[in-house]
Every structure is written in structure tokens, then in C-alpha cells.
Amino acid sequence: MGHEVKGAVRVGKQRYAGKILLETSEIIFRGTDYRCKIAFSEIHAVEAVQGELHITTSDGLKIYEIGAASEKWREKLTHPKSRLEKLGVKAGTRIRLIGDFESQFLRELEDSKAEILEASDAEITFLAIDGKVSLVDVAKYAKKMRGAQALWIVYPKGKKEITEIDVIAAARKSGLKDVKVVGFSATHTALKFVLPVRKR
């Protein structure tokens, strides 16, 4: 996930306690009695006021009680990083793609001027995984990693067939260290793995 805090949201005269998550392109509230999701594109205005985020959309005002993180979250909502920035991709980055990726991601890579290679000396490898069976491939690619090369494993979110724990366990078994998680899309999560410093 992206960023997560325990807090509350106020909608009109109602207040609901729960978890508030700031993802790549949306803010999500999950409570026992109330849930909501706001895409960044739906936000008309956002203010940080004494530990609260005041978010206005066409549906009205919602007030998120998140404490000290309010100003940092306001900045992320008003100036969100692009997906490629979060993944560490920029012009000239040597990329290798393994598996099937959505067309939008491929267009973003093309527009970024990243260099897409077939070789194993890429700085960043993206490995698309669709189930536990595919995790056997992790060991194969981990063996070929050198230095500060990174392996991003992209997998479906919210599915029992494969979980974050499954992905991390497979990578750690292959000698890799998990260092970052990014909400890759509305349907997928990306976990970043590298070689421990002692193995570089």
C-alpha cells in the first residue's frame, strides 16, 4: 500500500473511525460502518487544517482526521508523483519487462524515453505475476541480479490466490530484500526488491 493511518472521517454530522489510505491515485477510507474512495481527479479543493484534511468534491466536503500527516498528505494530493517517478524510472533508465503489462504503462515508459531492453543488465526489471505458480520465476531472475539492480514484482491486489506475504516470501527465499511498495494501478501492487548490500 501507499500510506496508511488510523483516524476518522466526518461527513456532514456523521463521524466514522477507521483506516485512511493514501494510494497512488486515490484516498480510501475503510471503517466498520462506512467506506469511501476519492480519486485524485475528483478533488476540487484540499486543505490541511490542524491535523485534518478538508477534501471537497462534487459530492461535498469530507474531513479526514489524520493528525501530523495532514500537511504532507495535502502536498501529495495536490502535487502527486507520477507512477514512473515512484518506480524510479526516468529518461535513459534501462528497463526490462517480463510478462504482460497494461497498455497505459507501456505508453508511459515510451513517453519517458526509458530504454527498454531484453538483456539482464537492465537497471530495473519489472516482473508481472498473476498467481503463486508464477512466483517460481523469481528465483531465476534473482540469480541474474548484480549490484544495485532492482526487481519490481507486479501482482494483483486484493486476491486470495496471491498476497503480499506470498510475494515477499518468494523473493526473500531467493536472497532478495524488499525495500518499497507502490500502488501500481487500481488492480495491481508493485513490490521492489534488491540484493542485500553484502551480496553486491
CATH number of the domain enclosing 36 = 2.30.29.30
> CA-to-CA distance for 119 and 134, rounded, in angstroms?
20
Same domain, 167 and 122: yes
pTM higher than the cut 0.75: no
* Structural domain containing residue 22: 3-78
Q: What is the pLDDT of residues 115-146, one digit of tens each?
A: 999 877 899 999 999 888 889 889 999 998 99
Same domain, 48 and 132: no
Same domain, 17 and 73: yes
Percent composition of the chain: helix, strand, coil (DSSP 3-state, to 5):
30, 40, 30
Same domain, 56 and 13: yes
Q: What is the pLDDT of residues 6-30, one digit of tens each?
A: 999 999 999 999 999 998 778 999 9
The domain total for the chain is 2
